[in-house]
Amino acid sequence: MIEELKNKTHLDEIMNKNGSCMIVIFYSDSSEKSKEALNALKEIKKENPDASIFGVNASRVKDIHPAYGIDTVPAVLVLKDKKISNIIYGAHDKSYFETLLYDSRAITLPAGKIKKHHRVIVYTSPTCSWCGAVKSYLIRNGITFREIDVSRDTRAGQDLIRRSGQSAIPQTDIDGKIVVGFDKAKLDSILGIKNN
């Protein structure tokens, strides 16, 4: 169950106790899109009870959303070390929200489920939501990987373009084989991921 925040003071208290990362969904009872987004995050919380996910009914709680410049619902606020890391507006499906949550490290996979038999490098950039989708998918399936941000490592980005012939991201290097984009079928095939 997602804990509801009562006011800004309550949020501040939780931030002080909660550690480095929190996810807060702002919603309204009168918005169907809000209900969709809230239900998606409730499912994620149910599957990941240790995830730091909180809710704010913006129709009733009036002092939190203005503090973060949020003026529409639904909106998902990602806080890292008490600072805004990301704000996602609109209703998205569960898998989209999971990518953001996994990317923020609010949810982690138990160490016993990690597989270590492939050399996997995911080439990303900070503005790429599909990069988060790839990383989330790998994490959920217990695949360890190294991430290279091509916006910071231009040499790696140029080398990647030379090897793959494409500048699109994400690109995933699995034992020397390049997968462009979030291509689940190719990832599954190369990594041996079995989905029911």
pLDDT in tens, 101-139: 655 554 444 444 444 468 899 999 988 889 988 988 888
Which tens digit of pLDDT belongs to each residue from 5-20?
A: 999 999 999 998 876 7
User: 42: closest CA among 33, 29, 55, 32?
Assistant: 55
- For residues 99 and 115, membership in a common domain is answered with no
Counted domains in the chain? 2
- Residue 31 belongs to some domain of the structure: yes
In a 3-state reduction of DSSP, which class is residue 5?
Answer: coil
The domain boundary residue, chosen from 63, 82, 103: 103
The CB density around residue 102, as the number of other CB atoms within 10 Å, is 23
Q: Which domain holds residue 20?
A: 3-103
User: Are 25 and 116 within one domain?
Assistant: no
Whether residue 57 lies inside any domain: the answer is: yes
Of 64, 80, 103, which closes a domain? 103
Instruction: Specify whether 129 is located in the same domain as 93.
Output: no
Q: What is the pLDDT of residues 165-188, one digit of tens each?
A: 999 999 999 999 999 999 999 999
Given 47, 71, 103, the domain boundary residue is 103
Whole-Å CA distances, 61 to 12, 67, 97:
14, 12, 23
CA-CA distance, 192 to 83, in Å (whole number)?
A: 38
